[in-house]
Structure 1
Amino acid sequence: MLGIGFDIAPISHEFDDEIQSRIDNKTKPLGALGELEFLAKQIARVLGKDKPKISNPKLLVFAADHGIAAAGVSIAPSEVTTQMVMNFINGGAAINVFCRQVGFELEVIDCGILQPLEGVEGIIDQRLGAGTAPIHRQAAMTLGAVKQGMEMARARIEHHHQLGCNLIALGEMGIGNTTSAAAIMACIMEMDSIDCVGRGTGIDAATLKRKQMLVEQALHVHESELADPFNILACLGGFEIVQMTGAMLAAAERGMLVVIDGFIATAAAMVAVKINPNVRGYMIFGHQSDERGHCLMMEHLHARPLLKLDMRLGEGTGAALALPMIQAAAGFYNEMASFSDAGIEI
């Protein structure tokens, strides 16, 4: 498909009993660490059962603009994407604060914002264009752009893998991208747009109705082209959604953990799973967004989000806040004494 494939090994369950035994024999009642125990088991499956360690974690924010934003689906114009990207570069956004707090190294990638930031240090140029076409009228991009975006994302993941990173978290920025994500959700889950389209940045009732109508229109316009996941991206996606999808697949191909943020990142995750179902075993879902439909996405992917804080900011903020929990799960698995180690008889 598209001349680009991802060779992702299925998660091995060969050592599940041994991993579970190690968890169960820590100095605690069975299951007392709750979700951290499920998380520790996943980490051990992906990174190895003997002392799995999170190394050089990176959080990548993929930024791009969407043609449908001009139809009035957000409280903000497309120019805000560029302004927020500058805020990321200057260290003033919520994602900067959280990354500094938890120890993520942040990288900002321009996948195709409307106004490029030429000569600005600290931004990775992986532009596929100056925003997508409006999806309710035509395809967002060509299949060639989808392929190029996948290849760019794979190269970026390979760069970090070579530097010893084994955990990638993914976030995004792009005015109008909840509309694109809702269209992808409705397409893949075969749902009505009213159940997929939420208020995004906080739109009013009239704008919400328009947004729902535009998603329905997009699905109708591209109805005959949506059987293939690459076509779904070409017709309904965004440049940042394409590259997030490619990054997830490439990271799993390299045996890395992949931390998914909110609604838009999860839309990319659903496409990634359609391209190669083996990617699902490498995914950790940082949080459940307050955006309408995200809980249904979680159910569709059989996901167990680590946090539920009624957040809907994007930027990778939920993924960032999940890192201490991921480190805690690996930490107790590696360092907590067993009953025999501690000389405790039960």
Structure 2
Amino acid sequence: MELLQQTLQQIQAVDQDMMVKARERVDALSKPPQSLGKLESLAVQLSGITGELFPNIDQKAMIVMAGDHGVYEEGVTNNPQNVTVFQTLSFPKGLTGVCAIAKITNAKVVTVDVGVKEDLPTDAGVLIKKVKYGTDNMAKGPAMTREEAIRSIEVGIEVATEQVKNGINLLGTGEMGIGNTTPSAAILSVIHNCDPLKVTGFGAGVGAGGIEYKAEVIRKAIALNKPNPQDPIDILAKVGGLEIGGMAGVILAAAANRVPVVIDGYISTIAALIAYKLEPNVKEYIIPSHMSEEPGAKIAAQLLDIEPMLQMNMRLGEGSGAALAFPILDAACSMMKNMATLEESMLLLSK
């Protein structure tokens, strides 16, 4: 709890003065006003986050949090639970979707076991930060204790902070956990105060009972555990996931270290909601990548008042959409650094 509190206290608003300077430069570039659209607002946001007129984001890392879910026992997905282990071990080998996409910008992929159900080999290239062997079944009781929820957040803080200390200047959030759209929908149902069916989707493969059954399991879990809508840690503990807590920690650490963080789709956005509920200033450090195909993704983005930049019909997870957005951020930085203002162009041409 001490690390979490220290991190929350370090989070400040972005540099508004630098954002004004960045906007002035963007508006002065050799182009019609707003003609580069979201690229312009991204450049201004990056300047505000970093405090630099010409931001540098050349050292990128995707942090993939892996954890299992006890609610799997309820048949909410048709995927075997051991896929979590299989895929978690595949990340360090560069064999997954996010790894293939991350290679485009030479981003490293950091894999973290925050709650996989099985013990992983210590030499597999996965950071072992296991809080517990998967969450408990939230349909029968709390997914975890409050202390475990806090610890999952602190794992994310520790890993992200270490990456920043080692020179990383752009972070992305990703996850691996069979069944994790179920706790994501549960968290969103509590925060949005809506029926779970409104925010429950197919996921990576819905179980035999279909989406309505999946929503009913979530209804049951919420009624049983009664998470406090005003307490994000209570929500996370009672109906959440360890990897969701881990990603929330990554987002908090990014903000505390004034580093931009690109979030992936539905599950990453739910983690961002948890982080935002803990400290609203984190929103200014978040860069949303793509709009997931999950029905709750749009609602979660609206609650955060963020607009994902890509519409790619993706729902893989892993951080794949976040990694896909990295080159766009490179383009925004290149615009600031390499594109001349009208005044600069005139001076150069007059020589």
TM-score range, shorter chain: over 0.9
Distance in 2, Cα, partners of 1:283 & 1:116: 32
**Amino acid corresponding to residue 4 of structure 1 in structure 2:** L
Is 1:335 the equivalent of 2:332? no
Is 1:258 the equivalent of 2:256? no
1:3 positional shift: 7.6
Distance in 2, Cα, partners of 1:312 & 1:33: 27
Q: Which residue of 2 aligns with 1:4?
A: 4
Q: Of 107, 113, 117, which residue of structure 2 is paired with 1:114?
A: 117
Q: Of 202, 221, 224, which residue of structure 1 is paired with 2:205?
A: 202
1:203 positional shift: 2.4
1:119 positional shift: 2.9
Aligned 1:208-287 pairs, distance under 5 A: 208-223=211-226, 225-287=228-290
Partner-residue secondary structure (3-state), 1:293: helix
Offset from partner CA, 1:91-110 (integer Å, 9 cap, x none): 21111111112221111101
TM-score of the aligned structures, taking structure 1 as reference length: 0.95
Distance in 1, Cα, partners of 2:244 & 2:123: 23
Distance in 1, Cα, partners of 2:257 & 2:92: 28
Q: Of 155, 161, 166, which residue of structure 2 is paired with 1:152?
A: 155
1:226 positional shift: 4.1
Q: Of 66, 91, 104, which residue of structure 1 is paired with 2:107?
A: 104
Offset from partner CA, 1:226-280 (integer Å, 9 cap, x none): 4311111110111111111111111101111011001111111001100000110
Offset from partner CA, 1:35-89 (integer Å, 9 cap, x none): 1111111001111242211141110110000000111111202111101112223
Q: Is the 8 A contact 1:43 1:52 kept in 2?
A: yes
Q: Which residue of 1 aligns with 2:59?
A: 56
Distance in 2, Cα, partners of 1:138 & 1:272: 24
Distance in 1, Cα, partners of 2:170 & 2:227: 37
Aligned 1:151-190 pairs, distance under 5 A: 151-190=154-193
**Amino acid corresponding to residue 259 of structure 2 in structure 1:** M
TM-score of the aligned structures, taking structure 2 as reference length: 0.94
Contiguous gaps of at least 5 residues in structure 1 = none
Q: Which residue of 1 aligns with 2:317?
A: 314
Q: Aligned-pair RMSD on alpha carbons?
A: 1.7
Is 1:30 the equivalent of 2:47? no
Partner-residue secondary structure (3-state), 2:334: helix
Offset from partner CA, 1:192-234 (integer Å, 9 cap, x none): 1111100001326732111000111111112254431111111
Q: Is the 8 A contact 1:2 1:147 kept in 2?
A: no
Distance in 2, Cα, partners of 1:165 & 1:60: 11
Q: Which residue of 2 aligns with 1:75?
A: 78
Q: Is the 8 A contact 2:19 2:45 kept in 1?
A: no
* Count of aligned pairs between the two proteins: 345
Distance in 2, Cα, partners of 1:4 & 1:307: 32
Distance in 2, Cα, partners of 1:226 & 1:192: 14
Q: Of 289, 292, 317, which residue of structure 2 is paired with 1:289?
A: 292
Distance in 1, Cα, partners of 2:160 & 2:177: 21
Distance in 2, Cα, partners of 1:270 & 1:257: 16
Distance in 2, Cα, partners of 1:32 & 1:121: 47
**Amino acid corresponding to residue 139 of structure 2 in structure 1:** H
Contiguous gaps of at least 5 residues in structure 2 = none
1:151 positional shift: 2.4
Q: Is the 8 A contact 1:260 1:284 kept in 2?
A: yes
Q: Which residue of 2 aligns with 1:44?
A: 47
Is 1:300 the equivalent of 2:307? no
Distance in 1, Cα, partners of 2:210 & 2:120: 30
Partner-residue secondary structure (3-state), 1:91: coil
Percentage of matched positions with identical amino acids:
33
Q: Is the 8 A contact 1:70 1:77 kept in 2?
A: no
Which 4+ runs in 1 deviate beyond 4 A? Answer: none
Residue 119 and residue 16 in structure 1: after superposition, are their counterparts in 2 closer, same or farther (change >3 A)? closer
**Amino acid corresponding to residue 65 of structure 1 in structure 2:** D
